[in-house]
Amino acid sequence: MDIFCGAGGFSSGFFLHGYKIIHGIDSWQPAINTFNFNYGLNCTVKNVLDFEDDIEQIEKLPNTNIIIGSPPCVSFSNSNKSGKSDKSLGVRLTETFLRIIVVKKYSKDSILEAWFMENVTNSAKYLQDRYTFQDLNLMDWAEGLGYSGKDVAINIKGHSKVLISSDYGCPQVRKRLITSENIAKSTPIIPKVTHGEKGEIIGLKRWITLGDVMDVLPGPNSKKSNREVKDPIYPHITLTLSEVTDHFYDSGLYEIHWEQSRYLKTNHPFMGRMSFPEKLSRPSRTITATNIGTSREAIIYPSEYGRKGDGEYRIPTIREMACLMGFPITYQFIGKSNAKKRLVGNAVCPTVSKALSKKLSDEIGFKSKAQSFRINADKLKSVTNLNTFSPRVFNERPKRNPGARFRRHPFKYGNITVTLSNYKIGETPAETSKWRTSIQYGNGHGYPNQSVPDYFFEKIEKILFAIENGKQFVNYINNGFSERIPDSQTLQILYEHNKGNSSFMCPIELIETVRERIDSMNFDQEMFRQNSMRVFKHKSEVPMEQLFALYAINKISTTSNMK
Protein backbone atom coordinates (compact mmCIF):
# COMPACT_ATOMS: atom_id res chain seq x y z
CA MET A 1 0.00 0.00 0.00
CA ASP A 2 1.34 3.42 -1.04
CA ILE A 3 0.21 6.41 1.02
CA PHE A 4 0.70 9.87 -0.54
CA CYS A 5 1.23 7.78 -3.66
CA GLY A 6 1.52 10.64 -6.17
CA ALA A 7 2.50 9.31 -9.58
CA GLY A 8 3.57 6.00 -8.04
CA GLY A 9 7.35 6.40 -8.16
CA PHE A 10 7.83 4.79 -4.75
CA SER A 11 5.59 1.87 -5.77
CA SER A 12 7.31 1.43 -9.13
CA GLY A 13 10.59 0.20 -7.64
CA PHE A 14 8.75 -2.46 -5.64
CA PHE A 15 6.62 -3.38 -8.66
CA LEU A 16 9.68 -3.78 -10.90
CA HIS A 17 11.16 -6.06 -8.26
CA GLY A 18 8.11 -8.30 -8.27
CA TYR A 19 5.81 -6.91 -5.60
CA LYS A 20 2.06 -6.49 -6.14
CA ILE A 21 0.71 -2.98 -5.61
CA ILE A 22 -2.82 -3.17 -4.26
CA HIS A 23 -3.77 0.30 -3.01
CA GLY A 24 -2.77 3.95 -3.21
CA ILE A 25 -3.94 7.07 -1.38
CA ASP A 26 -3.62 10.64 -2.63
CA SER A 27 -5.72 13.81 -2.52
CA TRP A 28 -4.87 14.96 -6.07
CA GLN A 29 -6.89 13.58 -8.98
CA PRO A 30 -4.08 13.53 -11.60
CA ALA A 31 -1.97 11.51 -9.13
CA ILE A 32 -4.71 8.94 -8.58
CA ASN A 33 -5.40 8.78 -12.32
CA THR A 34 -1.69 8.13 -12.99
CA PHE A 35 -1.42 5.57 -10.20
CA ASN A 36 -4.52 3.71 -11.38
CA PHE A 37 -3.39 3.74 -15.02
CA ASN A 38 0.02 2.21 -14.36
CA TYR A 39 -1.05 -0.34 -11.74
CA GLY A 40 -4.45 -1.29 -13.09
CA LEU A 41 -6.30 -0.14 -9.97
CA ASN A 42 -9.48 1.80 -9.20
CA CYS A 43 -8.42 3.94 -6.23
CA THR A 44 -10.28 7.18 -5.55
CA VAL A 45 -9.14 10.56 -4.26
CA LYS A 46 -8.69 10.55 -0.48
CA ASN A 47 -7.23 13.04 2.00
CA VAL A 48 -4.80 11.33 4.38
CA LEU A 49 -5.91 13.69 7.15
CA ASP A 50 -9.23 11.82 7.13
CA PHE A 51 -7.32 9.16 9.11
CA GLU A 52 -5.98 11.65 11.67
CA ASP A 53 -8.73 10.99 14.22
CA ASP A 54 -10.53 7.96 12.78
CA ILE A 55 -9.10 4.55 13.72
CA GLU A 56 -12.02 2.76 12.10
CA GLN A 57 -11.12 4.18 8.69
CA ILE A 58 -7.52 3.00 9.14
CA GLU A 59 -8.69 -0.49 10.08
CA LYS A 60 -10.76 -0.63 6.88
CA LEU A 61 -7.65 -0.09 4.75
CA PRO A 62 -6.34 -3.31 3.21
CA ASN A 63 -3.82 -5.30 5.21
CA THR A 64 -0.54 -5.55 3.32
CA ASN A 65 2.96 -6.90 3.87
CA ILE A 66 4.52 -3.52 3.15
CA ILE A 67 3.40 0.09 3.56
CA ILE A 68 5.30 2.89 1.90
CA GLY A 69 4.67 6.62 1.95
CA SER A 70 6.07 10.04 1.08
CA PRO A 71 4.42 12.77 3.16
CA PRO A 72 4.44 16.03 1.13
CA CYS A 73 7.79 17.71 1.63
CA VAL A 74 7.02 21.29 0.58
CA SER A 75 6.67 22.76 4.07
CA PHE A 76 9.85 21.00 5.28
CA SER A 77 11.96 22.07 2.32
CA ASN A 78 14.67 24.71 2.79
CA SER A 79 13.70 26.13 -0.61
CA ASN A 80 10.20 27.01 0.62
CA LYS A 81 10.33 30.60 1.91
CA SER A 82 14.04 30.06 2.60
CA GLY A 83 13.18 27.36 5.11
CA LYS A 84 10.89 29.67 7.14
CA SER A 85 7.53 28.24 6.05
CA ASP A 86 4.97 26.87 8.50
CA LYS A 87 5.89 23.26 9.31
CA SER A 88 2.69 22.35 11.16
CA LEU A 89 0.86 20.80 8.20
CA GLY A 90 3.91 18.74 7.25
CA VAL A 91 4.13 17.43 10.82
CA ARG A 92 0.40 16.58 10.89
CA LEU A 93 0.59 14.69 7.60
CA THR A 94 3.69 12.78 8.67
CA GLU A 95 2.28 11.86 12.08
CA THR A 96 -0.97 10.73 10.46
CA PHE A 97 1.07 8.45 8.20
CA LEU A 98 2.91 7.06 11.24
CA ARG A 99 -0.46 6.56 12.93
CA ILE A 100 -1.60 4.37 10.04
CA ILE A 101 1.64 2.38 10.27
CA VAL A 102 1.18 1.80 14.01
CA VAL A 103 -2.44 0.63 13.68
CA LYS A 104 -1.51 -1.77 10.88
CA LYS A 105 1.61 -2.94 12.75
CA TYR A 106 -0.04 -3.77 16.09
CA SER A 107 -3.50 -4.96 14.97
CA LYS A 108 -4.25 -8.60 15.84
CA ASP A 109 -4.71 -9.49 12.15
CA SER A 110 -1.53 -7.67 11.07
CA ILE A 111 0.57 -9.13 8.27
CA LEU A 112 2.83 -6.07 8.06
CA GLU A 113 6.50 -7.01 7.60
CA ALA A 114 8.05 -3.64 6.78
CA TRP A 115 7.35 0.04 6.23
CA PHE A 116 9.21 2.87 4.53
CA MET A 117 8.85 6.66 4.67
CA GLU A 118 10.54 9.11 2.30
CA ASN A 119 10.96 12.85 2.83
CA VAL A 120 13.39 15.73 2.39
CA THR A 121 16.41 15.63 4.66
CA ASN A 122 15.23 18.68 6.59
CA SER A 123 12.12 16.87 7.83
CA ALA A 124 14.05 15.08 10.58
CA LYS A 125 14.37 18.36 12.50
CA TYR A 126 10.61 18.53 13.03
CA LEU A 127 9.85 14.93 14.03
CA GLN A 128 10.29 13.24 17.39
CA ASP A 129 12.98 10.62 17.90
CA ARG A 130 10.23 8.16 18.83
CA TYR A 131 6.46 8.19 19.19
CA THR A 132 4.38 6.58 21.92
CA PHE A 133 0.82 5.41 21.34
CA GLN A 134 -0.29 8.48 23.26
CA ASP A 135 1.73 10.80 20.98
CA LEU A 136 -0.22 9.45 18.00
CA ASN A 137 -3.60 9.72 19.75
CA LEU A 138 -3.86 5.93 20.02
CA MET A 139 -3.72 5.47 23.80
CA ASP A 140 -7.23 4.01 24.31
CA TRP A 141 -6.85 1.81 21.23
CA ALA A 142 -3.46 0.51 22.40
CA GLU A 143 -4.68 -0.19 25.95
CA GLY A 144 -7.44 -2.30 24.42
CA LEU A 145 -4.67 -4.48 22.96
CA GLY A 146 -2.75 -4.70 26.21
CA TYR A 147 -0.24 -1.89 25.67
CA SER A 148 0.34 1.21 27.75
CA GLY A 149 -0.22 4.57 26.13
CA LYS A 150 3.33 5.51 27.13
CA ASP A 151 4.86 2.52 25.33
CA VAL A 152 7.01 3.40 22.32
CA ALA A 153 4.98 2.56 19.23
CA ILE A 154 7.44 3.53 16.52
CA ASN A 155 11.07 4.69 16.33
CA ILE A 156 12.40 7.38 14.00
CA LYS A 157 15.88 7.93 15.42
CA GLY A 158 18.21 5.14 14.41
CA HIS A 159 15.86 4.12 11.61
CA SER A 160 16.56 7.02 9.25
CA LYS A 161 19.31 7.51 6.69
CA VAL A 162 19.92 9.99 3.88
CA LEU A 163 20.20 8.24 0.52
CA ILE A 164 21.51 9.89 -2.65
CA SER A 165 19.69 8.70 -5.76
CA SER A 166 22.77 8.74 -8.00
CA ASP A 167 24.34 6.13 -5.73
CA TYR A 168 21.58 3.70 -6.75
CA GLY A 169 21.61 3.96 -10.53
CA CYS A 170 19.57 7.14 -10.94
CA PRO A 171 21.01 9.79 -13.29
CA GLN A 172 20.15 12.52 -10.78
CA VAL A 173 21.62 13.76 -7.50
CA ARG A 174 18.61 13.80 -5.18
CA LYS A 175 19.10 13.55 -1.42
CA ARG A 176 16.18 12.14 0.55
CA LEU A 177 15.68 10.86 4.08
CA ILE A 178 14.45 7.26 4.19
CA THR A 179 13.00 5.99 7.46
CA SER A 180 12.20 2.28 7.58
CA GLU A 181 11.73 -0.81 9.68
CA ASN A 182 12.02 -4.53 9.19
CA ILE A 183 9.41 -5.32 11.83
CA ALA A 184 10.64 -8.82 12.68
CA LYS A 185 14.14 -7.50 13.37
CA SER A 186 13.19 -3.98 14.55
CA THR A 187 15.98 -2.71 12.29
CA PRO A 188 16.16 -0.15 9.46
CA ILE A 189 16.42 -1.35 5.86
CA ILE A 190 19.45 0.27 4.26
CA PRO A 191 20.58 -0.88 0.81
CA LYS A 192 24.23 -0.96 -0.17
CA VAL A 193 25.45 1.70 -2.58
CA THR A 194 25.71 0.33 -6.13
CA HIS A 195 27.08 3.29 -8.14
CA GLY A 196 29.80 5.89 -7.69
CA GLU A 197 31.61 8.72 -9.46
CA LYS A 198 34.59 6.42 -10.04
CA GLY A 199 32.60 3.24 -9.69
CA GLU A 200 34.94 0.86 -11.48
CA ILE A 201 37.87 1.85 -9.25
CA ILE A 202 36.02 1.05 -6.03
CA GLY A 203 34.11 -1.99 -7.26
CA LEU A 204 30.85 -0.22 -8.10
CA LYS A 205 29.07 0.69 -11.29
CA ARG A 206 29.78 4.13 -12.70
CA TRP A 207 27.29 6.91 -12.07
CA ILE A 208 24.73 7.31 -14.83
CA THR A 209 25.08 10.89 -16.10
CA LEU A 210 22.80 13.41 -17.72
CA GLY A 211 24.78 12.93 -20.92
CA ASP A 212 24.22 9.16 -20.78
CA VAL A 213 20.47 9.72 -20.82
CA MET A 214 20.62 12.27 -23.64
CA ASP A 215 22.86 10.01 -25.70
CA VAL A 216 20.36 7.13 -25.55
CA LEU A 217 17.08 9.02 -25.92
CA PRO A 218 16.42 10.38 -29.43
CA GLY A 219 16.47 14.17 -29.68
CA PRO A 220 13.09 15.87 -29.18
CA ASN A 221 13.41 17.20 -32.75
CA SER A 222 13.41 13.66 -34.21
CA LYS A 223 11.04 12.80 -37.04
CA LYS A 224 8.31 10.20 -36.64
CA SER A 225 9.59 6.69 -37.23
CA ASN A 226 9.35 3.12 -35.97
CA ARG A 227 13.03 2.75 -35.15
CA GLU A 228 13.88 1.12 -31.85
CA VAL A 229 14.46 3.22 -28.75
CA LYS A 230 16.19 1.73 -25.70
CA ASP A 231 15.42 2.79 -22.16
CA PRO A 232 18.51 4.68 -20.86
CA ILE A 233 18.12 3.18 -17.35
CA TYR A 234 16.62 -0.22 -18.14
CA PRO A 235 18.28 -1.27 -21.44
CA HIS A 236 16.19 -4.46 -21.67
CA ILE A 237 13.13 -2.24 -22.25
CA THR A 238 12.65 -1.10 -25.84
CA LEU A 239 9.91 0.78 -27.68
CA THR A 240 9.50 2.08 -31.17
CA LEU A 241 10.07 5.81 -31.44
CA SER A 242 6.37 6.38 -32.16
CA GLU A 243 5.48 4.68 -28.86
CA VAL A 244 7.60 7.02 -26.70
CA THR A 245 5.29 9.64 -25.19
CA ASP A 246 5.79 13.19 -23.89
CA HIS A 247 9.17 13.73 -25.53
CA PHE A 248 8.97 14.83 -29.16
CA TYR A 249 8.03 18.47 -28.67
CA ASP A 250 9.98 21.71 -28.47
CA SER A 251 10.71 22.76 -24.87
CA GLY A 252 12.79 25.75 -26.00
CA LEU A 253 12.86 28.94 -23.94
CA TYR A 254 12.53 32.58 -24.81
CA GLU A 255 15.89 34.31 -24.49
CA ILE A 256 14.64 36.46 -21.62
CA HIS A 257 13.83 33.29 -19.66
CA TRP A 258 17.04 31.36 -20.15
CA GLU A 259 19.08 34.55 -19.75
CA GLN A 260 17.44 35.15 -16.36
CA SER A 261 18.33 31.60 -15.30
CA ARG A 262 21.89 32.00 -16.54
CA TYR A 263 22.33 35.17 -14.48
CA LEU A 264 20.96 33.54 -11.32
CA LYS A 265 23.19 30.50 -11.80
CA THR A 266 26.44 32.21 -12.70
CA ASN A 267 26.21 35.64 -11.03
CA HIS A 268 23.71 35.45 -8.17
CA PRO A 269 23.95 38.29 -5.60
CA PHE A 270 24.02 35.89 -2.62
CA MET A 271 24.61 32.31 -3.74
CA GLY A 272 27.49 30.39 -5.28
CA ARG A 273 28.13 29.73 -8.94
CA MET A 274 26.34 26.97 -10.86
CA SER A 275 26.89 25.61 -14.36
CA PHE A 276 25.10 27.06 -17.36
CA PRO A 277 24.28 25.08 -19.40
CA GLU A 278 24.24 21.83 -17.43
CA LYS A 279 27.29 19.59 -17.19
CA LEU A 280 26.53 16.44 -19.15
CA SER A 281 29.39 14.52 -17.54
CA ARG A 282 27.64 14.25 -14.17
CA PRO A 283 24.25 13.11 -12.89
CA SER A 284 21.58 15.76 -13.22
CA ARG A 285 20.78 18.11 -10.39
CA THR A 286 17.48 17.60 -8.57
CA ILE A 287 14.41 17.54 -10.79
CA THR A 288 11.77 19.98 -9.49
CA ALA A 289 7.99 19.89 -9.79
CA THR A 290 7.79 23.19 -11.69
CA ASN A 291 10.54 22.73 -14.30
CA ILE A 292 10.44 26.39 -15.34
CA GLY A 293 13.28 27.94 -17.28
CA THR A 294 13.70 31.20 -15.35
CA SER A 295 14.87 29.93 -11.97
CA ARG A 296 18.29 29.21 -10.53
CA GLU A 297 17.22 25.58 -10.03
CA ALA A 298 16.17 25.14 -13.67
CA ILE A 299 17.87 22.38 -15.66
CA ILE A 300 18.82 23.92 -18.99
CA TYR A 301 20.86 22.76 -21.95
CA PRO A 302 21.22 23.70 -25.64
CA SER A 303 18.30 22.99 -27.93
CA GLU A 304 18.77 20.56 -30.81
CA TYR A 305 17.15 23.07 -33.19
CA GLY A 306 20.36 25.14 -33.43
CA ARG A 307 18.74 28.56 -32.95
CA LYS A 308 20.20 31.72 -31.42
CA GLY A 309 18.33 33.85 -28.91
CA ASP A 310 14.77 32.63 -28.50
CA GLY A 311 14.81 28.83 -28.42
CA GLU A 312 18.60 28.57 -28.15
CA TYR A 313 18.29 26.68 -24.84
CA ARG A 314 15.62 24.39 -23.49
CA ILE A 315 14.40 22.60 -20.39
CA PRO A 316 14.03 18.80 -20.27
CA THR A 317 11.00 17.21 -21.82
CA ILE A 318 8.61 15.34 -19.53
CA ARG A 319 10.07 12.05 -20.74
CA GLU A 320 13.62 13.23 -20.04
CA MET A 321 12.54 14.36 -16.56
CA ALA A 322 11.00 10.94 -15.95
CA CYS A 323 14.16 9.13 -17.12
CA LEU A 324 16.30 11.38 -14.92
CA MET A 325 14.08 10.34 -12.01
CA GLY A 326 14.54 6.66 -12.91
CA PHE A 327 11.11 5.89 -14.39
CA PRO A 328 10.99 3.35 -17.24
CA ILE A 329 10.06 4.84 -20.64
CA THR A 330 6.90 2.72 -20.55
CA TYR A 331 5.56 4.58 -17.50
CA GLN A 332 2.76 7.04 -18.28
CA PHE A 333 1.71 10.31 -16.63
CA ILE A 334 -1.92 11.33 -16.84
CA GLY A 335 -2.80 15.01 -17.11
CA LYS A 336 -1.85 18.23 -18.85
CA SER A 337 1.72 19.50 -19.19
CA ASN A 338 2.01 21.26 -15.80
CA ALA A 339 0.36 18.33 -14.03
CA LYS A 340 2.86 15.94 -15.62
CA LYS A 341 5.76 18.11 -14.44
CA ARG A 342 4.41 18.05 -10.92
CA LEU A 343 3.76 14.30 -11.03
CA VAL A 344 7.33 13.59 -12.11
CA GLY A 345 9.13 16.16 -9.96
CA ASN A 346 7.34 15.18 -6.73
CA ALA A 347 7.92 11.44 -7.16
CA VAL A 348 10.27 9.12 -5.31
CA CYS A 349 13.07 7.91 -7.59
CA PRO A 350 12.11 4.38 -8.72
CA THR A 351 15.75 3.24 -8.74
CA VAL A 352 16.07 4.09 -5.03
CA SER A 353 12.76 2.36 -4.36
CA LYS A 354 13.97 -0.70 -6.25
CA ALA A 355 17.16 -0.80 -4.16
CA LEU A 356 15.06 -0.67 -0.99
CA SER A 357 12.78 -3.44 -2.22
CA LYS A 358 15.75 -5.65 -3.13
CA LYS A 359 17.32 -5.18 0.30
CA LEU A 360 14.01 -6.00 1.97
CA SER A 361 13.53 -9.08 -0.21
CA ASP A 362 16.95 -10.36 0.82
CA GLU A 363 16.09 -9.87 4.48
CA ILE A 364 12.64 -11.47 4.50
CA GLY A 365 13.38 -14.17 1.91
CA PHE A 366 10.94 -12.92 -0.72
CA LYS A 367 11.55 -14.74 -4.03
CA SER A 368 11.09 -11.88 -6.44
CA LYS A 369 10.24 -12.15 -10.09
CA ALA A 370 10.94 -9.06 -12.18
CA GLN A 371 8.04 -7.47 -14.01
CA SER A 372 7.65 -4.48 -16.34
CA PHE A 373 5.21 -1.72 -17.17
CA ARG A 374 3.83 -2.50 -20.61
CA ILE A 375 2.51 -0.21 -23.30
CA ASN A 376 -1.15 -0.79 -24.17
CA ALA A 377 -1.89 0.96 -27.46
CA ASP A 378 -5.64 1.05 -26.86
CA LYS A 379 -5.28 2.49 -23.35
CA LEU A 380 -2.76 5.08 -24.60
CA LYS A 381 -5.40 6.58 -26.90
CA SER A 382 -7.06 8.13 -23.85
CA VAL A 383 -3.82 9.67 -22.56
CA THR A 384 -2.78 13.26 -23.30
CA ASN A 385 0.48 12.90 -25.22
CA LEU A 386 2.61 16.06 -25.51
CA ASN A 387 4.34 14.92 -28.71
CA THR A 388 3.90 17.36 -31.60
CA PHE A 389 6.96 16.54 -33.75
CA SER A 390 7.19 20.24 -34.64
CA PRO A 391 9.30 23.23 -33.53
CA ARG A 392 7.92 25.92 -31.25
CA VAL A 393 7.03 29.31 -32.70
CA PHE A 394 8.45 32.18 -30.66
CA ASN A 395 6.12 35.01 -31.68
CA GLU A 396 4.81 36.36 -28.37
CA ARG A 397 7.78 37.83 -26.54
CA PRO A 398 7.00 37.91 -22.80
CA LYS A 399 6.65 41.24 -20.98
CA ARG A 400 7.23 42.12 -17.37
CA ASN A 401 4.59 43.80 -15.26
CA PRO A 402 4.55 47.63 -15.17
CA GLY A 403 6.87 48.88 -12.45
CA ALA A 404 8.83 45.60 -12.34
CA ARG A 405 11.87 45.79 -10.07
CA PHE A 406 15.36 45.53 -11.56
CA ARG A 407 18.58 44.58 -9.79
CA ARG A 408 21.74 43.38 -11.49
CA HIS A 409 25.52 43.57 -11.21
CA PRO A 410 28.19 42.77 -13.81
CA PHE A 411 30.11 40.29 -11.66
CA LYS A 412 30.90 39.26 -8.09
CA TYR A 413 34.63 39.60 -7.53
CA GLY A 414 36.13 39.86 -4.05
CA ASN A 415 32.70 39.01 -2.63
CA ILE A 416 31.58 42.49 -3.66
CA THR A 417 28.88 43.53 -6.10
CA VAL A 418 28.36 46.91 -7.73
CA THR A 419 24.68 47.03 -8.56
CA LEU A 420 22.31 48.93 -10.80
CA SER A 421 18.74 48.89 -9.52
CA ASN A 422 15.51 50.84 -9.95
CA TYR A 423 14.75 50.74 -6.22
CA LYS A 424 16.64 51.31 -2.98
CA ILE A 425 18.06 47.94 -1.93
CA GLY A 426 17.12 47.09 1.64
CA GLU A 427 14.17 49.47 1.67
CA THR A 428 10.69 48.15 2.51
CA PRO A 429 8.50 48.58 0.58
CA ALA A 430 10.92 48.73 -2.33
CA GLU A 431 9.29 51.13 -4.77
CA THR A 432 10.67 51.76 -8.25
CA SER A 433 11.29 55.51 -8.29
CA LYS A 434 14.70 56.17 -9.86
CA TRP A 435 17.78 54.31 -11.04
CA ARG A 436 20.39 53.76 -8.37
CA THR A 437 23.98 52.67 -7.89
CA SER A 438 24.92 50.70 -4.79
CA ILE A 439 27.70 48.47 -3.47
CA GLN A 440 27.11 45.28 -1.49
CA TYR A 441 29.89 43.97 0.75
CA GLY A 442 29.31 40.26 1.26
CA ASN A 443 26.22 38.10 0.94
CA GLY A 444 22.95 37.97 2.79
CA HIS A 445 21.45 39.72 5.78
CA GLY A 446 23.68 41.95 7.90
CA TYR A 447 26.34 42.80 5.34
CA PRO A 448 26.93 46.51 4.58
CA ASN A 449 25.20 48.19 1.65
CA GLN A 450 26.62 51.46 0.33
CA SER A 451 24.37 53.82 -1.64
CA VAL A 452 26.30 55.79 -4.25
CA PRO A 453 24.96 59.23 -5.28
CA ASP A 454 24.59 60.37 -8.87
CA TYR A 455 27.66 62.05 -10.40
CA PHE A 456 29.99 60.04 -8.16
CA PHE A 457 31.60 58.81 -11.38
CA GLU A 458 33.24 62.24 -11.75
CA LYS A 459 35.38 61.56 -8.65
CA ILE A 460 36.30 58.10 -9.89
CA GLU A 461 37.28 59.44 -13.30
CA LYS A 462 40.37 61.15 -11.86
CA ILE A 463 41.47 57.86 -10.30
CA LEU A 464 40.97 55.93 -13.54
CA PHE A 465 43.12 58.36 -15.48
CA ALA A 466 46.07 57.33 -13.31
CA ILE A 467 45.54 53.61 -14.00
CA GLU A 468 46.71 51.76 -17.08
CA ASN A 469 43.87 51.50 -19.63
CA GLY A 470 41.71 53.69 -17.38
CA LYS A 471 41.58 56.59 -19.82
CA GLN A 472 40.62 54.28 -22.70
CA PHE A 473 37.78 52.86 -20.58
CA VAL A 474 36.50 56.33 -19.73
CA ASN A 475 36.59 57.25 -23.42
CA TYR A 476 34.68 54.09 -24.29
CA ILE A 477 31.94 54.84 -21.73
CA ASN A 478 31.60 58.48 -22.79
CA ASN A 479 31.82 58.00 -26.55
CA GLY A 480 29.14 55.66 -27.83
CA PHE A 481 28.11 53.75 -24.73
CA SER A 482 26.53 56.69 -22.88
CA GLU A 483 24.52 57.58 -25.96
CA ARG A 484 22.80 54.18 -25.67
CA ILE A 485 21.51 55.00 -22.17
CA PRO A 486 17.90 56.26 -22.31
CA ASP A 487 16.05 58.44 -19.82
CA SER A 488 14.75 56.86 -16.63
CA GLN A 489 11.21 56.19 -17.86
CA THR A 490 12.34 54.73 -21.18
CA LEU A 491 14.88 52.51 -19.44
CA GLN A 492 12.06 51.11 -17.30
CA ILE A 493 9.86 50.50 -20.35
CA LEU A 494 12.68 48.74 -22.20
CA TYR A 495 13.19 46.51 -19.16
CA GLU A 496 9.50 45.66 -19.02
CA HIS A 497 9.55 44.83 -22.75
CA ASN A 498 12.72 42.76 -22.32
CA LYS A 499 14.48 44.34 -25.25
CA GLY A 500 16.38 47.41 -26.36
CA ASN A 501 15.86 49.22 -29.67
CA SER A 502 17.99 50.75 -32.39
CA SER A 503 18.70 53.80 -30.23
CA PHE A 504 18.93 52.52 -26.68
CA MET A 505 19.94 49.41 -24.74
CA CYS A 506 17.74 47.88 -22.05
CA PRO A 507 19.30 47.68 -18.55
CA ILE A 508 20.28 44.02 -18.92
CA GLU A 509 22.13 44.82 -22.16
CA LEU A 510 23.88 47.76 -20.49
CA ILE A 511 25.09 45.59 -17.61
CA GLU A 512 26.20 42.77 -19.91
CA THR A 513 28.11 45.23 -22.10
CA VAL A 514 29.93 46.61 -19.05
CA ARG A 515 30.76 43.09 -17.88
CA GLU A 516 32.15 42.00 -21.24
CA ARG A 517 34.21 45.18 -21.63
CA ILE A 518 35.80 44.99 -18.17
CA ASP A 519 36.43 41.23 -18.35
CA SER A 520 38.23 41.77 -21.68
CA MET A 521 40.74 44.02 -19.89
CA ASN A 522 42.25 40.99 -18.05
CA PHE A 523 43.18 42.57 -14.72
CA ASP A 524 44.45 39.20 -13.48
CA GLN A 525 43.50 39.69 -9.79
CA GLU A 526 44.96 43.21 -9.67
CA MET A 527 43.70 45.12 -6.63
CA PHE A 528 42.71 48.77 -6.21
CA ARG A 529 44.21 50.08 -2.96
CA GLN A 530 42.47 53.17 -1.67
CA ASN A 531 44.21 56.29 -0.38
CA SER A 532 42.70 59.17 1.56
CA MET A 533 39.69 59.31 -0.77
CA ARG A 534 37.46 56.38 0.23
CA VAL A 535 35.54 55.14 -2.80
CA PHE A 536 34.59 51.84 -1.20
CA LYS A 537 33.66 52.67 2.39
CA HIS A 538 33.90 49.19 3.86
CA LYS A 539 37.04 47.83 2.16
CA SER A 540 40.59 49.16 2.01
CA GLU A 541 41.25 47.28 -1.22
CA VAL A 542 38.99 45.73 -3.83
CA PRO A 543 39.45 43.97 -7.18
CA MET A 544 40.30 46.50 -9.89
CA GLU A 545 37.28 45.30 -11.90
CA GLN A 546 34.93 46.68 -9.24
CA LEU A 547 36.39 50.20 -9.49
CA PHE A 548 35.77 50.21 -13.25
CA ALA A 549 32.30 48.72 -12.73
CA LEU A 550 31.43 51.44 -10.23
CA TYR A 551 32.34 54.11 -12.76
CA ALA A 552 30.21 52.55 -15.50
CA ILE A 553 27.18 51.70 -13.32
CA ASN A 554 27.08 55.16 -11.78
CA LYS A 555 27.34 56.65 -15.25
CA ILE A 556 24.26 54.62 -16.27
CA SER A 557 22.13 55.65 -13.28
CA THR A 558 23.20 59.31 -13.41
CA THR A 559 22.68 59.64 -17.17
CA SER A 560 19.28 58.00 -17.03
CA ASN A 561 18.03 60.06 -14.08
CA MET A 562 19.24 63.37 -15.51
CA LYS A 563 17.99 63.03 -19.08
Maximum CA pair distance of the chain? Answer: 89
Asked whether residue 420 carries a pLDDT value surpassing 80, the answer given is yes
Q: Is residue 464 part of a domain?
A: yes
**What pLDDT is recorded for position 75?**
54
Residue finishing a domain among 333, 366, 399: 366
- Is the pLDDT score of 486 beyond 60? yes
359 and 442, same domain (yes or no): no
57 or 198, greater pLDDT: 57
The answer to whether 325 and 347 have CB atoms below 8 angstroms apart is yes
Same domain? For 162 and 16 the reply is: yes
Looking at residue 78, its pLDDT comes to 45
**What is the predicted pLDDT for the residue at 534?**
86
Domain boundary among 309, 340, 366: 366
Query: Which pTM was predicted?
Result: 0.89
What percent of the chain stands above pLDDT 90? 84
Please, what's the b/e burial string for 345-365 (b: 16 or more CB within 10 A of its CB; e: otherwise)?
Answer: bbbbbbbbbbbbbbbbbeebe
Q: What is the pLDDT confidence band of residue 124, given thresholds at 50, 70 and 90?
A: confident
- pLDDT at position 86 is 63
| Most confident listed range (70-79, 197-206, 449-458) | 449-458
Q: Is the pLDDT of residue 207 over 60?
A: yes
Residues 358 and 475 in one domain: no
pLDDT score, position 270: 81
400-414: average pLDDT: 94
Residue 138 belongs to domain with CATH number: 3.40.50.150
Domain-located, residue 302: no
Does residue 315 lie within any of the structural domains?
no
User: Which range among 27-36, 405-414, 508-517, 531-540 shows the weakest confidence by mean pLDDT?
Assistant: 531-540
Q: Is residue 273 part of a domain?
A: no
- Shared domain for 359 and 473, answered yes or no, is no
Those residues whose C-beta lies under 8 Å from the C-beta of residue 325, and which sit 6 or more positions away, are: 9, 170, 172, 287, 344, 345, 347, 349, 350
Burial of 204 (C-beta count, 10 Å sphere; 0-12/13-18/19+): middle
Residue 527: DSSP 8-state: E
pLDDT in tens, 231-278: 999 999 999 999 999 999 999 999 999 999 999 999 988 888 899 999
- Give Cβ neighbours of residue 11 (< 8 Å, ≥ 6 apart): 2, 5, 21, 24, 35, 39, 68, 353
Tell me the residue range of the domain where 421 lies.
Answer: 407-562
* pLDDT of 175 strictly over 70: yes
Domains of the chain: total: 2
- The whole-angstrom distance between residue 48's C-alpha and the CA centroid of its chain comes to 26
Has residue 327 been placed in a domain? Answer: no
pLDDT category of residue 83 using cuts at 50, 70 and 90:
very low
Q: Regarding beta strands 160-164 and 152-155, do their DSSP bridges make them parallel or antiparallel, or are they unpaired?
A: unpaired
